[in-house]
Amino acid sequence: MKFTLNKLAALLAFIIGGMAIFAGSKVVIFHIPVDYYVIDWLPVYNLTMGLVTFFFTAVLLWKDADLAPKLAVATLAIHSLVMLILQTAYKTVVAPDSIRAMTIRIGAWVIITGLVLIHERQKKSSSSQ
């Protein structure tokens, strides 16, 4: 099996999805109290996106599905939109840990999306030769 950029992207997606599942489930499922104000929808968002990433997006990235590049771009866009919402509507109440976590997610998805798009370009280049 050839290890390609989409497989590296999938591994990163599995990791970042697993981290979101772990962090989101602590609050949503296990109700572990935190020592700061929690925006009600944010842990649910984190858990949901983690589950979608881990069980759906990362699998499609690994399989090099045609939908993979669109999912990578969409995931990056959704995380960026949520960060924009946090930085505007919730700027005075959002926990610094939430901003750090979203920054890490966005950074990871910039890398994942870049890897997927480079992989797509390589596929198109090799098929046209």
Residue-range domain boundaries for the chain: 5-31+38-122
pTM higher than 0.85, yes or no? yes
What's the rounded Cα separation, in Å, for the pair 57 and 67? 9
Q: Which two tokens stand for residue 100?
A: 């750090």
- Average pLDDT for consecutive 10-residue bins of the chain (129 residues)? 84 97 86 72 94 97 95 98 97 91 97 96 83
pLDDT score at 36:
67
Cβ atoms of residues 54 and 21 within 8 Å: yes
